[in-house]
Amino acid sequence: MPEKTIEERVREIIVEQLGVTADQVTPEAKFIEDLGADSLDTVELVMALEEEFGNEIPDEQAEKLQSVGDVIKYVEDTQKK
């Protein structure tokens, strides 16, 4: 089986954490407006991403991650380093 891409891993975490369906998790989808997340959900989501990708996401950075696409891009950028 081919290794999962970063995008696939991010989308799986979002589906699990926010209790939404995979087809809702489009790159444009915003966590609070479109996926029904509240402030506690976003904190937990950031923690789950940190667990999965093994790096710390600083608070000031986390605040900027408002859509699925933001997260995918951020993780791809940081994983390259």
Q: Which residues bind other proteins (CB under 8 A)?
A: 18-19, 40-41, 43-44, 47, 51
- The two tokens of residue 65 are 């991650």
Short-list 50, 41, 43, CA closest to 17 = 41
How far is C-alpha 66 from the geometric centre of its chain's CA atoms? Answer: 9
Nearer to other proteins, 33 or 76 (CB): 33
Residue with Cβ nearer other proteins (17 or 67): 17
Is 38 a residue of the active site?
Answer: yes
State both tokens at 64.
């900027």
Smallest distance, other proteins to C-beta of residue 59, A? 11
